[in-house]
Structure 1
Amino acid sequence: MESRLNTWVLGLLPLCVIAMAVVGFAVLGGPGLTARNGPPAEELVVERTILGVGSIELVVRNAGPDPVTLAQVAVNDAFADFRISEPEIGRLGSANVRITFPWVDGEAYEVALLTSTGGIVAHEIPVAVLTPDPSGFIGLMALLGTYVGVIPVAIGMLWLPWLRRVPPGWIRALMALTIGLLAWLAIDAALEGMEVANAGAGALGGAGLVGIGAIAAYLVLSGVQNWMAARPGQTGGYRLSLLVSVGIGLHNLGEGLAIGSAYAVGALALGATLVAGFAIHNTTEGLAIVAPVSDERTSPFRLILLGLVAGGPAILGAWLGAATTQPALAALLLGLGVGAIAQVILQLAPSVRDGGGRLLHPVSITGILTGMLLMYATGLLT
């Protein structure tokens, strides 16, 4: 007992020393450090634009090390009255800047935020459109998530009877096609995550959040896969299908988030063409889900569960996107989809090996490239 206690004391000793050093450094006022010369380092990021009748509201975040105070606001080089929720915005703090300005629908505007030190933060509004009222978002976003997530996946799963009738040699090609579909989803999510992250405050993690989300999802899904493999009845094709559904579901969560965020700021026109484009694009995901269970009997309940796991998160993502436009959250969620899909691809890879044990052979290469090309082609509709 005494030996174990000594081990803990030795392990905690460095932590105690560094804690005392930090406290002492703070109490003494940072001895040896001179005052910084030059102007404060100010960095404001506009995270959201809300256009109301006769007003422009910006949600800004301080991504720099020093507090920021706004002195004036100009719209198209004309000074405008404004109110701000926080007189001084601290590091990583946010504030709402409400500008009184009679904007015109369809016109372009450039907003300049002038800080107390003379710095200027420019924000462009390419096309001014009245921001929709968020009070009716819940039902609308649920309907939109169902249109672009649940229904297309369910339709794609109707390929299951056909898959069970094709020659066994085709299954290997279809599994390669599935890997191609998933690979494209991972690439698409990674690129979109990087773009969203770069639009937000880099101090919150920036593009690194995509990597953090990807690693976290990969490790968690690996643990889930090992847990499922150790349980009776959770092996074979159904386990792979469930993993594919989880990976696609996390991707659809990020996709729904992007749709909800775009609609919340009036940047998404909910036309029939757009909804149809998303539906066609996501229908191919249903094929990826049912391919692993094409050679075994699966109950209707399990098939419904697979569809809901893959398509349902689009509804949740749309709700989150409509409620908040936090780029850091969007980047993290998109990163989760990347990591999950990468882990699923790793699990599917053995199913495409040929009789000689080769992973990359003419059939698998053709299937992977065809899957990526199919997702690219249907993605053009969105």
Structure 2
Amino acid sequence: MSDDDTKLELKKPLIEAISIQLPPTVAVDKSIKAQIIQGTKDAIATLHGNEALDKEMDFDTILNEPANLKHFFEVFKDNIDLFAETVVDKSGDPITDETTETACGVTLQQVKKLLISTATRRFFVRNDGKVITKKQKKKVKTMMFFTKEVTVKKKVKLKEGAAKFDVMKRIIGFDWQLDLLEFYRDELPDAHMLVLGDDLLVIQDIKRGQEVVSIHHEDFKKVKESVGVYFRNVVAHGAAAIPGILYWRKDLVMAFIKAMGEGAWDFFKREKEFFDHCTELDNARIGIYGDTLAYIAHENLTELNRLNLDRLEATLGAWKDTFSDNISEILSEPLLSTDILRPMVDSFIHLEAKDNGQFKVGCRTAVSSLKEEVLAFIKEAKARHAEEAANTADLDAEEENS
């Protein structure tokens, strides 16, 4: 690798903002739409004829249940060779991808979008028209010039599904969304939907979606102000980092993100007590610790923080080089602080060195000499924790039985 390549690699950011690709638009007239519908019915018939699809799966049965439509897409893809003469481009050649235009001027991706949107609307409006009782606030007169607000019960017809579909239809069109339709319809509040908009597309499983719903929608607005273009990265990780992001000032939030990359979300998920130990960190120290802050125990952070910037950077570098893949397991052990780190940091504070280069050499030698001792210590610490956990479990069981 040349020096120029090395410089470019060093300048490459640790994190890239997630970009959003909306589902393909389907601007077709009635005749093209009719061709798509007929083409889908013909495809179903072909699959029936080749015993690739259950004959009970007709056009409406497939579109009435998201799971059925997803199954149809999978069967179609697995049997694409059956359509070599019918699914063709304008030259008559068979199509095997989703982005090439078919003879009727639309792509298979656009066909999927139309079918998914149709299935979504049917699923959303399934309960529309059902009469339910809702509590509503209403102003009533109490005296000639005065009114008061009271809560009354009123029977209304549900039309929530159609309204929600109208808001969401622009972003509906991916087959993976078929697994999320029940979540969209029944669990995703309108307020979250309006605040997130296109950002909903980075949520691709129900667990992440439920984490997002658990956060108040107003907090998303505050987070957007703090993280800027990285907001989608936050949402994609399930939003569990949001309380941690809200703990910090905007400038420090960005300092953590720039220093840690994607590891920042694990840092922001940590407990408030740990954040309290990080409040005195400046941008320089944040940059040195980097993703270490996602796992280091606050006791170990306190010991290392006694070093000046140059010696802290050299010490952390030596630990990472020496322990490599085990570094997170080691620095997350709080017992390491008094038995190993404290005497080491004391010696490093008073270690005489002509310059930083000489200190780095001495530091690497010292940390390397501790390797076997540290690994043995971590093994003993884990055994001690396991014994304590077992004793606690026994005590809890005794209390339950007494």
Q: Say yes or no: TM over 0.5.
A: no
Q: Which has the larger radius of gyration?
A: 2
- The structure in which a higher percent of residues are strand is 1
